Amino acid sequence: KSFLFNQLFDPKKNIPEGSHQYELLKHAEATLGSGNLRMAVMLPEGEDLNEWVAVNSKLSPFLYASFKIHIFYCSADNCNLTTAGKKYEYHWADGTNIKKPIKCSAPKYIDYLMTWVQDQLDDETLFPSKIGVPFKRNFMSVAKTILKRLFRVYAHIYHQHFDSVMQLQEEAHLNTSFKHFIFFVQEFNLIDRKELVPLQELIEKLTTKDR
């Protein structure tokens, strides 16, 4: 694992030990350790899809460590916009504090995103950790938005900072992290295909041999 892999978020913080979601988290970690990423993302037999998506969304902050590594090379000066190549530019809005999408630097976008995602994970009405507490109707919509925005940071890193990733010799870690992420969102159709276009060639390359 990367030297920053566990420094930003701890998914167990959002999942009480002994709870059913904690057991799902242990299952997810175990299947990830098997090396079979397609099997790792599959819904365990008899489990609820909302709970499985919730647990994996809580695992997703691990990905921020990958993002954090590359922020060393990403500043408001050299990334004054959040882009993925020349064709794609991402603007930030959270619907609460910032209702109208704004242009911002890539580091600022990631700061906004990290804060917003943690707020969602900490909201027990959205991500209930207690057995028997139902998920709200808009849960899947929120989860999809989290994953869509995480993808945008991947797109920025691959398009704008992959040379730096290779200099750090972190490309294998980044590729594995992204591959697991893509298998998960593809398995449950959690990100619209048009959102994936900026990295479509990479997605094909990373996933073809696992079909």
Q: Which tokens in the block code for residue 195?
A: 């959102």
Type of residue numbered 121: L
- Write out the E strands in the chain: 82-84, 88-90
Is 91 labelled a binding residue? no
Type of residue numbered 180: H
Q: Which residue in this structure is represented by tokens 């892999």?
A: 5
CA 15 from centroid of its chain's CA atoms: 17
Length of the chain: 211
Q: In angstroms, rounded to a whole number, what is the distance separating the alpha carbons of residues 102 and 96? A: 13
Closest CA to 15 of 71, 47, 59, 50: 59
Element (H, E) at 56: helix 49-59
Q: In angstroms, rounded to a whole number, what is the distance separating the alpha carbons of residues 10 and 74? A: 24
Is 104 labelled a binding residue? no
Across 2-12, b (16+ Cβ under 10 Å) vs e yields bebbeebbebe
Detail the residues annotated as belonging to a binding site. 74, 79, 156, 161
Known binding residues for Zn(2+) are 74, 79, 156, 161
